[in-house]
Amino acid sequence: MRSLVFAAAVLALSSPALAQAPAAATALPLNIGGRVAPAPGGAYDFGWPGVYFEGRFAGSSIAVAADTGAEHLAVSVDGVRKAELTASGRTRVELENLGAGEHVVRLDKLTESQSGSARFLGFFVGGDGKALPPAPRPHRIEFIGDSHTVGYGVRSATPICSQQQVHDLTDTSLAFGPVLAGRLDADYRVIAFSGRGVVRNYDGIAPGEPLPVLFPRVIPGQAEPRAAASDAWKPDWVVIGLGTNDFSTPLHAGEAWPDQAALHAAYRQSYIAFVQGLAANRPGARFLLIAGDTFADDVAEVAKATGATPVRITGMDSKACHSHPSIADQKMMADRLEAAIRALP
């Protein structure tokens, strides 16, 4: 998809020095959604889907600097998307003529990185502009899942996609998580990896590395660094959608489970342990578990054992890449989860 640029100058930067602000510029303090790893010079590396950075300032212009890696990033001001950064490498966006007064600038990660990462270098205000403290939202919500949570190929109008199209048409900002978070006025983070399940991954790939094993990573494709179990980021709600990949493909000879009954039993046992482990470090958080067509009974048992709320999701049109949820499906999922959250006692 062609980059969108509105009243913005997008500059490719050939050296690290050029990506930094001019000496007179001031870096904005940040509200960060998602896991990030501190990098030199006040920068942050990030790889999980849906990571975002927000800053607040007074003035008519702002500069945004990033190293996109292989990812697509979106820049917005006051909720209006101004540019999509789709070229690889260091980039600085100069947004001008924004009007007087206070503004919120935001950088969103759209695509999925299963290896590698991108780097945020900062928001910079200069001239007569003024950096202001960020304004975090009153609620927090955490989304844990697979490709449905990622927003895999969601921009596609057809299920027939190349791998490059999957990458380019994935947009986590259109997935149910960010949509729901917007309705709840919540900051959010997304820990999701396409093709992964609770105990088994799609078609038996990457044995021994389902989502719960990857979950502690700060960058999804790197075993280190790892997030502390006692992470200070405490959500009000945790939404987990895992199970499609455990059961969507037949077992192969040599896998860890002799039959489907054993797989379902292992799924339930491991899922209960995963939820209980998360709950121990998220005091007061309410858990909601998405139940799909092939594993609804299993999720009901996990929910009963953990005190979570099961949320049945069915009836999707699955018109996005490789028969994944479409934009309409993602909105429907957000609708059902919103109803479930608002019905909680």
Closest CA to 51 of 143, 126, 123: 143
Amino acid identity, position 161:
C
The token pair at 135 is 């304004």
Our answer to whether residue 147 is catalytic in this structure is yes
Phi and psi at 178, nearest 5°, equal -60, -35
Q: What CA–CA distance (Å, rounded) separates 34 from 31?
A: 10
Catalytic residue chosen out of the listed positions 113, 117, 147, 194: 147
Phi and psi at 177, nearest 5°, equal -60, -60
With contact defined as beta carbons under 8 Å apart, do 226 and 217 qualify? yes
Q: What CA–CA distance (Å, rounded) separates 137 from 267?
A: 35
Closest CA to 49 of 32, 35, 30: 35
The token pair at 309 is 């709320």
The token pair at 160 is 């027939």
Q: By CB neighbour count within 10 A (0-12 exposed, 13-18 middle, 19+ buried), where does 162 fall?
A: exposed
Q: Which residues are catalytic?
A: 147
